[in-house]
Structure 1
Amino acid sequence: MSGRKLRSGELENQVLEVLWAAGEPMTPGAVHEVVAADRALAYTTVMTILTRLWEKDELTRRKDGRAYAYEPVVGRDQRVAQRMRAVLGAAEDHTLALNAFADSLPDEQRAALRKALGSRGPQR
């Protein structure tokens, strides 16, 4: 069992990872069972995280008996892209931030980025 207390964002990421791995809607009890398998974590904490993610439109939910079953709105890669856009939006100079990001990448990732951008063609 881990002695380190997780921040809310870390718990959100863990909950999303559980939901992505499941590939189907899960109730809070089922999510709690997985997330709390290796640490003491209250059911209400998992419920709070699910509710917050739903309120932020990152999850959908539907009735499943007396509870709700939750499912991610977007996949893992789409969420990462959203977070990258949010971070870029916080930069004062987008070009400078993008160049610094590209310069920080290993050669293989930089080549993949160049290829992805090249496949998009010119933007209008």
Structure 2
Amino acid sequence: MDAEAAGSGRETPRRRGQGELEAAVLSVLGEASEPVTAAWVLRRLGGGLSYSTVITILTRLHAKQAVARTGPRRPVLWQPVADEAGLAALLMRRLLDKQSDRDAVLSSFVSGLSPDDEDLLRSLLAESGPDAAGPPADRPKG
């Protein structure tokens, strides 16, 4: 808190990180029953954000394929393609796709999981069917 804010009893607002803003925008979009404008998103976010900040976040989410936008007509309408968990999964897949040694990356990732997360991963793999847990050569091509 700066001296002026301390003297006035007001706290300086905490600056949110890009990931927090993206999650907040995805959450607001998830509440919409149809595609919405950036102004609609801004009104629901509140918190002193500017219109240009909301547009920037929506554009970044669009580049990450987490939101879809209407064509060139105005106003541009936005809708979620992925929720926060879906966005994280998409980013993880993109990072994995960039690696030359996928086995090493996945092995390292799994070895760093907590026992509870390991159990959850095993459960999810079991739910997705017997082919999902087998080696790639045993999976049907599709």
- Pairwise same-fold verdict (TM > 0.5): yes
Question: Could you tell me how far apart the structure 2 residues matched to 1:20 and 1:48 are?
Answer: 18
Equivalent position of 1:105 in the other structure: 113
Structure number with the bigger relative contact order (C-alpha 8 A, sep ≥ 6) is 1
Q: Contact between 2:62 and 2:68, CA under 8 Å: does it hold in 1?
A: yes
Q: Tell me, yes or no, if structure 1 residue 27 matches structure 2 residue 37.
A: yes
Question: Could you tell me how far apart the structure 2 residues matched to 1:82 and 1:76 are?
Answer: 10
RMSD: 2.9
What SS does the corresponding residue of 1:67 show, helix, strand or coil? Answer: coil
Question: Could you tell me how far apart the structure 1 residues matched to 2:78 and 2:117 are?
Answer: 33
* Shift in CA distance, 23/104, structure 1 to aligned 2, threshold 3 Å: farther
Equivalent position of 1:96 in the other structure: 104
Question: Could you tell me how far apart the structure 1 residues matched to 2:64 and 2:111 are?
Answer: 32
Question: Could you tell me how far apart the structure 2 residues matched to 1:2 and 1:107 are?
Answer: 40
Question: Could you tell me how far apart the structure 1 residues matched to 2:25 and 2:53 are?
Answer: 11
Taking every aligned residue pair, what percent have the same amino acid on both sides? 33
1:53-92 to 2 correspondence within 5 Å?
53-62=61-70, 67-91=75-99
CA deviations on 1:9-48 (whole Å, 9 max, x unpaired) are 442232122112335322111100122x2x2211122123
Aligned partner of 1:17 among 23, 27, 34 = 27
State TM-score, norm by structure 1.
0.71
CA deviations on 1:60-113 (whole Å, 9 max, x unpaired) are 2338x9522210123444322211112323445432322222222222321221
Question: Could you tell me how far apart the structure 2 residues matched to 1:88 and 1:2 are?
Answer: 39
Question: Could you tell me how far apart the structure 1 residues matched to 2:12 and 2:106 are?
Answer: 36
Question: Could you tell me how far apart the structure 2 residues matched to 1:71 and 1:2 are?
Answer: 32
* Shift in CA distance, 40/49, structure 1 to aligned 2, threshold 3 Å: same
Structure 2 spans left out of the alignment, 5+ residues: 1-10
What SS does the corresponding residue of 1:49 show, helix, strand or coil? Answer: helix
Structure 1 spans left out of the alignment, 5+ residues: none
* Greater strand share, structure number: 1
What SS does the corresponding residue of 2:77 show, helix, strand or coil? Answer: strand
